[in-house]
Amino acid sequence: MGIATTARVYKDLEPDSAYAFKPEDLEDDEMILNMGPQHPSTHGVLRIELKTDGEIVKDARPHIGYLHRNFEKHAENIDYQGVIPFTDRMDYVASMANSLTYALTVEKLMAIEVGERVKSIRVLVSELQRIASHLLAIGTYGMDIGAFTPFLHCFREREKILDLFEWLCGARLLYNFNWVGGVSHDLPEGWTDKVLQFLSEFEPVIDELDDLLSLNKIFTDRTATVGIIPPDLAVAYALSGPNLRGSGIKWDVRREDPYCGYEKYDFEIPVGQGRYGPIGSCWDRYYVRVEEMRQSVRILHQALDKLPAEGDVHEKVPKRVKPNPGEAYARTETPRGELAYFIVSDGGLIPYRVKGRSPCFVSMSIFHEIARGEMIADIIAIIGSLDIVLGEIDR
Amino acid sequence: MSLKAGEIQARLEAKFPGTIVLAQLEAIDPFLVVDQGALLEMGLSLRDDPELAFDTLHCLSAVDYLKEDRIEIVYHLSSLKHRHWIVLKVHLPRVDPKIPTVEKIWPTANWHEREAYDLFGVVFSGHSDPRRIFLPDDWAGHPMRKDWVWPEEWHGIAVKPGKQFAERASEGETLGVGPFD
């Protein structure tokens, strides 16, 4: 099938503006293939335009915006506290991390220093959230590749964390838990014991996952040679989180720019080793997440030990959130990387400007670089390994 | 060796005299306002000078200041090697804002600049892919502008929201603004 046929069919179907690649630029045997917006492995509503030559992907252009709600515009019309539920809905599988970042930014703007108990609670929930989010990433990644069983194991464990969160604040997915200056609820009686019980049950599951999926030969062969991100490219595209560390760069916001007292915790920063192929492959990024769950378990044990017995979680919650004119940029390490908010205040009750720097948006912008030259089937492995959430890309 | 904002300013001032319009070193995040004509050379120097080595552009944001009649483009930069940090700002006019792209220096700027174009209408000259990123291609206007007027509908879909919080507050309605109100 030459250029003429492809071009005609495509021109009849869609207006030109829907495509980044123009038919007149196609060479012989090249074809434009649409993946999505409805596709089970795009982890949301994502459309990718692939320029293919047979099975080889010559170039790729992601088209995003299907979930765009423009929370930034909403934020300019609502009070500071009211923005928190909107931030929850950005990365809807790691809501705790999103609202925490927003709360920290407003606290930086207002120079509020929260108490030790609030800090420990925030570390507890964000590490639990990290485990829950990584379990989802790992489980669905296995499923993308064709391994269904690990998905069920991951979701069984994730369910326990969601139960803990439900007990804590009444919601299972979108929590509105981190407030400016505190958290919405103190820990219920007996909650910490249940966390300890969960940790003791969960630790063996990570080893089980290794046997089931991570070190499985079929899985490593499938993922350890595709989607290579060299370290310099990762830095040029400002990747963060497991996507950056998968390329072998030891960089974690919890270490670089500690918040919530992370400087007092003892934990390792796992990086991609290139065990089964080149450094920065899909498998490296995947395994960084597995290792991070082990580290999160360590942090959780320390946070439970450090948790002060006394302390009012609403002590520093301001009656009126009205920062002085100024601007602040604060960031945290969410399960997907460096999430930051840039807030400009004009001294009123409503933020003048809120900008969310979402890690998935940045991770997705590198996609065309790593997709070039891969097979069509590997595109699915690459998208899964970037661990994107479309709610956060589109905002 | 990580440098303080003042030292970074001094280095840039020595290399590009007169291009730093304003320096706010006492702000929560110290920032420098630079002349847009010097932006590209300054960016290259920030990235390639081994003492500065600003290899990461974390965030590129646009802010619309309606009263001051300007749009600001804000660059949050840091260095993985030296662990230091600086914020650059460029002031643009609200009418026809135009600025050279920095995607050749930091490739990550590509999508951030498309976003700033989409939502604010800032044109990045020399950009390799100057399309809208979030909104449909036939969307009219740039909604993050402060004076943006909601259209009634888009292809028969009603898009105009009801009264917003700010509007209700300005009409004198008492609204709870804290968690304990």
Q: Both ends of chain B: CA-CA distance in Å?
A: 49
pLDDT digits (tens), chain B, 181 positions: 777 877 888 888 888 888 888 888 888 888 889 888 888 888 888 888 888 889 889 999 999 998 888 999 999 998 888 888 889 999 999 888 999 999 889 999 999 999 999 999 899 988 888 888 888 877 888 888 888 888 887 777 777 776 666 677 777 776 655 555 4
| pLDDT tens-place string over residues A292-338 | 999 999 999 999 998 888 888 888 888 888 888 989 999 999 999 99
Distance CA A196, CA A376 (A): 44
Q: Inform me whether the pLDDT recorded for A14 exceeds 50.
A: no
Residue A226 DSSP class? S
CATH superfamily for domain B5-137 = NADH:ubiquinone oxidoreductase Nqo5 subunit (3.30.460.80)
| pLDDT tens-place string over residues A343-387 | 999 888 889 999 999 999 999 999 988 988 888 888 888 988 888
B2 token code pair: 């990580």
A91 touches chain B (CB under 8 A): no
Which one of A64, A237, A366, A368 makes the best mutation probe of the B interface by having the most chain B beta carbons within 10 Å?
A237
Q: Are residues A42 and A162 in the same domain?
A: no
Q: Are residues A59 and A191 in the same domain?
A: no
Backbone φ and ψ for A321, nearest 5 degrees, come out as: -90, 100
Of the pLDDT bands very low, low, confident and very high (cuts 50, 70, 90), residue A269 is very high
- Residue A138: CB partners within 8 Å, gap ≥ 6? A150, A154, A209, A213, A286, A289, A290
Chain-chain contact of A82 with B137 (C-beta, under 8 angstroms):
no
B19 touches chain A (CB under 8 A): no
B118 token code pair: 């989409």
Distance CA B38, CA B16 (A): 8
Q: How far apart are the CA of A1 and the nearest CA of chain B, in angstroms?
A: 29
A207 token code pair: 């080893």
In order of A63, A252, A270, B138, B153, the CA distances from A127 in angstroms are 32, 14, 15, 43, 43
For residues A220-249, average pLDDT: 90
**Domain CATH number, residue A168:** 1.10.645.10
A18 touches chain B (CB under 8 A): yes
Instruction: Please give the distance of CA A32 from its chain centroid, rounded to a whole number.
Output: 29
B128 touches chain A (CB under 8 A): no
Of the pLDDT bands very low, low, confident and very high (cuts 50, 70, 90), residue A13 is very low
Chain-chain contact of A327 with B80 (C-beta, under 8 angstroms):
no
Chain-chain contact of A65 with B55 (C-beta, under 8 angstroms):
no
A263 touches chain B (CB under 8 A): no
Determine the residue type at A263. E
The full DSSP string for A16-79 is GGG-SS-GGGPPTTEEEEEE-SS-TTSSSS-EEEEEEETTEEEEEEEE--TT---HHHHHTTS-
Chain-chain contact of A238 with B58 (C-beta, under 8 angstroms):
yes
Q: Are residues A46 and A180 in the same domain?
A: no
Chain A positions in Cβ-Cβ contact with residue B58 (cut-off 8 Å): 238, 331, 338, 340, 357
For residues A204-218, average pLDDT: 88
**Secondary structure class of B123 (helix, strand, coil):** strand
Chain-chain contact of B137 with A350 (C-beta, under 8 angstroms):
no
The long-range contacts involving A13-19, CB below 8 angstroms and separated by at least 24 positions, are: A17/B137, A17/B138, A18/A63, A18/B137, A19/A49
Q: Are residues A53 and A84 in the same domain?
A: no
Q: What is the pLDDT of residue B60?
A: 92
A266 token code pair: 């003892």
Which one of A25, A104, A342 makes the best mutation probe of the B interface by having the most chain B beta carbons within 10 Å?
A342
Instruction: Please give the distance of CA A114 from its chain centroid, rounded to a whole number.
Output: 25
Distance CA A144, CA A219 (A): 11
Q: Are residues A100 and A131 in the same domain?
A: yes
* Nearest C-alpha neighbor of A296 from the set A331, A334, A258: A334
Chain B positions in Cβ-Cβ contact with residue A342 (cut-off 8 Å): 59, 61, 74, 76
A69 token code pair: 């709600």
**Surface of A (114-173) touching B: CB under 8 A:** none
What pTM, to 2 d.p., does this model score?
Answer: 0.88
Q: Are residues A191 and A308 in the same domain?
A: yes
Distance CA A66, CA A395 (A): 10
Q: Are residues A93 and A128 in the same domain?
A: yes
Q: Which of A18, A321, A338 sits opposite B58 (nearest CB)?
A: A338
CB A322 within 8 A of CB A84: no
B36 touches chain A (CB under 8 A): no
Which chain A residue has the Cα nearest residue B76?
Answer: A329
B1 token code pair: 């060796």
Q: Inform me whether the pLDDT recorded for A181 exceeds 90.
A: no
Backbone φ and ψ for A178, nearest 5 degrees, come out as: -85, 115
Q: Which strands make up the sheet holding A337-345, listed edge to edge? A: A326-334, A337-345, A353-357
**Surface of A (343-372) touching B: CB under 8 A:** 344, 349-350, 352-353, 355, 357, 361-362, 364-365
Total tally of structural domains belonging to chain A: 2
Q: Are residues A57 and A106 in the same domain?
A: no
Q: Are residues A167 and A235 in the same domain?
A: yes
Residue A187 DSSP class? P
Give the range of the structural domain holding residue A170, as residue numbers without chain letter: 80-357
Q: How far apart are the CA of B11 and the nearest CA of chain A, in angstroms?
A: 23
**Surface of A (19-48) touching B: CB under 8 A:** 20
**Secondary structure class of A295 (helix, strand, coil):** helix
Chain-chain contact of A235 with B55 (C-beta, under 8 angstroms):
yes
Chain B positions in Cβ-Cβ contact with residue A248 (cut-off 8 Å): none
CA neighbours within 13 Å on the CB side: how many for A382? 27
Q: How far apart are the CA of A154 and the nearest CA of chain B, in angstroms?
A: 32
Within-domain flag for A74: no
Q: Inform me whether the pLDDT recorded for A8 exceeds 70.
A: no
Q: What is the pLDDT of residue A6?
A: 41
Q: How far apart are the CA of A374 and the nearest CA of chain B, in angstroms?
A: 21
Q: How far apart are the CA of A63 and the nearest CA of chain B, in angstroms?
A: 7
B171 touches chain A (CB under 8 A): no
Q: Are residues A157 and A276 in the same domain?
A: yes
Q: Both ends of chain A: CA-CA distance in Å?
A: 40
Residue A262 DSSP class? G
Determine the residue type at B112. H
Within-domain flag for A389: no
Distance CA B87, CA A237 (A): 18
Which one of B59, B119, B175 makes the best mutation probe of the A interface by having the most chain A beta carbons within 10 Å?
B59
Partners of A110 in beta bridges:
none
Chain-chain contact of A353 with B63 (C-beta, under 8 angstroms):
yes
Q: Are residues A237 and A100 in the same domain?
A: yes
Q: How many CB atoms lie within 10 A of CB B157?
A: 6
Q: How far apart are the CA of A239 and the nearest CA of chain B, in angstroms?
A: 9
Place of tokens 């995003």: A64
Q: How far apart are the CA of B37 and the nearest CA of chain A, in angstroms?
A: 23
Q: Are residues A203 and A341 in the same domain?
A: yes
Chain-chain contact of A64 with B133 (C-beta, under 8 angstroms):
yes
Chain A positions in Cβ-Cβ contact with residue B29 (cut-off 8 Å): 327-329
Q: Which of B108, B144, B167 sits opposite A362 (nearest CB)?
A: B108
Which one of A229, A329, A341 makes the best mutation probe of the B interface by having the most chain B beta carbons within 10 Å?
A329
* Nearest C-alpha neighbor of A290 from the set A359, A216, A366: A216
- Residue A74: CB partners within 8 Å, gap ≥ 6? A83, A86
